[in-house]
Amino acid sequence: MNNPINNQDQLYRFIFEDVGVRGELVQLDASWRAILERYDYPETVSRQLGQSIAASLLLSATIKFEGSLILQSQSEGPLTTLVAQATHQRTVRGLARWNAEVPDGRLAEVFGPGKIVITIDNQSKERYQGIVGLNGENLSQALEGYFETSEQLASRFWLAASQERAAGLFIQELPNDDHDKEHWQRIEMLANTVTDNELLNLEPTELLHRLFHEEQVRLFDPEPVAFRCGCSSERIESTLKAMGQTEVSQILKEQGEIEANCEFCNKRYRYDQVDIERLFAQDIPLSGSSSKH
């Protein structure tokens, strides 16, 4: 396999002129490696996590919203926890947990019995949740099944991940479209020739040209993607204040200090007696000490 090209960390949207099909392409380098460096993931785990991160970005780009889209597994197999989050600002974070050796196999072997929940937290609007069955060979097939049954839109995903890059390609037939189905079938057939190697190593424009050079494709300006964790001392302190001074003081008495860890970025927040007294003595924000694990 060729060495990956320089950092991309970008989401591309494109549309097939006069055909009624849209698409997205995402490639993640520095943002993906920032997620990987937080934990020592086995390769089979990081591959699933990378694909889910790419998928969450592709999914988030199909809707207009302000907030976050979270793709989270709920299962009982070797890979017990998988969380991928993408925001409307094109920031990502994610993590995975496992309790046994994770095989390189079908979803049922990797996750065991369970499901994937897609949650959209849209500011000032009701939260939306959709259920994805853990059916098929991989996450791509599971998501395609979700769109077929829930959205009733012909959609295809291709997802890949290595230690250096996570990438994904998505195409979808536009709703309420009167174009001939043959157009969709032709574009789907062309896209289905893509390989993991191409997804992970070709420049986006080169990849799209290789796949669709006979089609009229309009490529929009790319959107930058970055790793960003949403944890903060302000959020921790709000939680402590919501618990109440009596309960927090009891914890402090038993443990000597209060420590909160962010699972996404491994950042630790610590509060001692002085910090807690100041926190409850005034309503202004207090920055507790923090450190990275």
Strands (E), 53-107: 67-75, 79-87, 91-98
Tens-place pLDDT, residues 115-139: 999 999 988 788 899 999 898 999 9
pLDDT at 172: 95
- Show me where the domains of the chain are located: 10-227, 233-292
Strands (E), the chain: 10-16, 21-28, 67-75, 79-87, 91-98, 114-122, 128-133, 155-161, 166-173, 217-219, 223-224, 226-227, 258-261, 267-271, 289-292
Rounded Cα distance, 196 and 101, in Å: 24
Q: Which residues, including other chains, have CB under 8 Å from residue 126's CB and lie 6 or more apart?
A: none
Is residue 154 a contact partner of residue 177, using CB atoms and an 8 Å limit?
A: no
Is residue 262 a contact partner of residue 270, using CB atoms and an 8 Å limit?
A: no
Is residue 248 a contact partner of residue 200, using CB atoms and an 8 Å limit?
A: no
Rounded Cα distance, 56 and 118, in Å: 9
CATH architecture of 233-292: Alpha-Beta Complex (3.90)
11, two tokens: 């989401």
pLDDT along the chain (293 residues), means of 10: 59 92 96 91 96 97 91 92 94 92 93 92 86 92 89 91 97 78 92 97 95 94 88 71 79 77 68 75 52 43
Q: Which residues, including other chains, have CB under 8 Å from residue 220's CB and lie 6 or more apart?
A: 12, 13, 14, 15
pLDDT at 223: 96
- List own/partner pairs for 183-190 with CB under 8 A and 24 or more apart: 183/16, 183/19, 183/20, 183/21, 184/19, 184/20, 184/21, 184/154, 187/16, 187/19, 187/21, 187/212, 187/215, 188/154, 188/156, 190/215
Q: How many CA atoms lie within 13 A of 96 on its CB side?
A: 27
Is residue 228 a contact partner of residue 94, using CB atoms and an 8 Å limit?
A: no
CATH architecture of 10-227: 3-Layer(bab) Sandwich (3.55)
Output the pTM of the full model: 0.81
pLDDT at 60: 95
Q: What distances in angstroms separate CA 21 from CA 147, 215, 239, 291, one per listed residue? A: 15, 11, 45, 47
23, two tokens: 């698409």
Same fold, 10-227 and 233-292: no
Is residue 73 a contact partner of residue 79, using CB atoms and an 8 Å limit?
A: yes
